[in-house]
């Protein structure tokens, strides 16, 4: 833990302080026309009020994790693929 | 060759890269849990997001030097990879903040439990949904950039000795 603990108090204070500051600034975005438009048009999720889908509970539990892993994993693999293809052409020179 | 006496005392905590690997794993697992509120339920989602802040801050602490030198390095950056890494890391940071801020602003359990009144705007609901969706592929790109490091560390973690 020595690497985590190195100056952790002052450093965490800086990180949290900056993040708090930037975070509070982000709240100002609700004043933009973009936000006003969305608020006046209204927004809600798809799928609400359609009742429970006919899928076993265990699958329903796993599915969000599968979704997250896919949304992280597919771009990861595509990026690796592109890097490898570029590598094929550049490494030979 | 190291004697078993010296290797036995050493653990992942004595090695910066291994410390990072262990903390990164915790970070990834906790992030995945926070990414699935449909499985955990919204109340748990909100409290777990708070817990998630700890591995998140630790991740920044373990790359303190990168952040300190990041702007100077960008000026000197020679490779496309360095510039891309800079943009990606700061995008990820700002996006993570945005997910957290919008999450707090649509809180249905945390703020009410703390007695803070909150009128939820559709705008922030949409922002929380959209930014939480967008951060996943960005994280994929972040991990892709460190893929070789991850593979190396998996091999190193299997060996007992700290190299
Ligand atoms: C939330 C899930 C995240 C995971 C699983 C993750 C994982 C990783 C991994 C595996 C590495 C390379 C290994 C290492 O040196 O530790 C890394 C490096 C790094 N990450 Fe993350 N990361 C995440 C989020 C973030 C965020 C939000 C930021 C921005 C604040 C960030 C900033 C960095 C930096 C600056 C580096 C070092 C880059 C370098 O040395 O070139 N990470 N991360
Ligand atoms: C790293 C931080 C966070 C991530 C990655 C994250 C991710 C998500 C995701 C993926 C959803 C589902 C969105 C949807 O399908 O519409 C969600 C919903 C929600 N999150 Fe978060 N969240 C985070 C932080 C927070 C925080 C800090 C809070 C409040 C204290 C929060 C409160 C909520 C609420 C109330 C919902 C349901 C809102 C709705 O359905 O419109 N989240 N979050």
Note the pLDDT tens digit of each residue in A18-38: 999 999 999 999 999 999 999
Tens digits of residue pLDDT in A38-81: 999 999 876 555 667 788 889 999 999 999 999 999 999 999 99
> How many Å lie between the centroid of ligand 1 and the Cα of residue B91?
12
pLDDT in tens, B126-146: 999 999 999 999 999 999 999
Residues in chain A with CB shorter than 8 Å from the CB of B94 are 22
Q: Domain residues of chain A, as ranges?
A: 2-46+53-92
- Burial class, B73, CB count within 10 angstroms (exposed 0-12 / middle 13-18 / buried 19+): middle
Quick one: B115 exposed, middle or buried, by C-beta within 10 A (0-12, 13-18, 19+)?
exposed
Band (pLDDT 50/70/90 cuts) for residue B8 is: low
Q: ipTM of the predicted structure?
A: 0.88
Tokens of B156: 């190193």
Asked if A60 and B121 touch (Cβ cutoff 8 Å), the reply is no
Query: Is the CB of A26 less than 8 angstroms away from the CB of B140?
Result: no
| Burial (CB count within 10 angstroms: exposed 0-12, middle 13-18, buried 19+), residue B119 | exposed
Count how many domains chain B has: 1
Query: What span, in angstroms and rounded, lies between the C-alpha atoms of B60 and B83?
Result: 19
Q: Which of B19, B124, B138 sits opposite A3 (nearest CB)?
A: B19
Q: Is position B1 within any domain?
A: no
Residue B98 lies in a domain: yes
Close Cβ partners of A68 (under 8 Å, ≥ 6 residues apart): B32, B35, B36, B136
Domain assignment present for B129: yes
Indicate whether B115 belongs to any domain. yes
Residue nearest to atom 30 of ligand 1 (CA): B93
């Amino acid at each position: 833990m020595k690497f985590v603990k190195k100056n952790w108090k002052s450093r965490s204070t800086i990180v949290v302080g900056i993040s708090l500051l930037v975070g509070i600034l982000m709240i100002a975005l609700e004043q933009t026309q973009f936000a006003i438009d969305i608020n006046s048009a209204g927004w809600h999720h798809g799928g609400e009020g359609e009742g429970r889908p006919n899928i076993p509970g265990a699958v329903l539990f796993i599915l969000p994790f599968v979704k997250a892993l896919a949304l992280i994993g597919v771009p990861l693999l595509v990026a690796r693929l592109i890097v490898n293809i570029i590598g094929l052409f550049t490494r030979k020179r | 060759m190291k004697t078993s006496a010296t290797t036995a005392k050493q653990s992942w905590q004595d090695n910066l890269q291994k410390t990072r690997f262990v903390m990164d794993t915790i970070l990834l697992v906790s992030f995945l849990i926070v990414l699935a509120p449909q499985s955990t339920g919204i109340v748990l989602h909100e409290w777990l997001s708070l817990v998630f802040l700890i591995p998140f801050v630790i991740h920044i602490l373990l790359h303190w030097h990168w952040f300190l030198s990041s702007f100077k390095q960008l000026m000197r950056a020679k490779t496309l990879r360095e510039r891309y890494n800079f943009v990606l890391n700061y995008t990820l940071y700002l996006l993570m903040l945005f997910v957290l801020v919008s999450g707090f602003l649509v809180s249905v359990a945390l703020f009410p439990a703390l007695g803070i009144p909150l009128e939820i705007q559709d705008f922030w609901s949409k922002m929380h949904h959209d930014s939480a969706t967008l951060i996943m592929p960005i994280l994929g790109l972040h991990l892709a950039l460190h893929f070789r490091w991850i593979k190396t560390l998996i091999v190193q973690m299997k060996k007992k000795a700290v190299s």
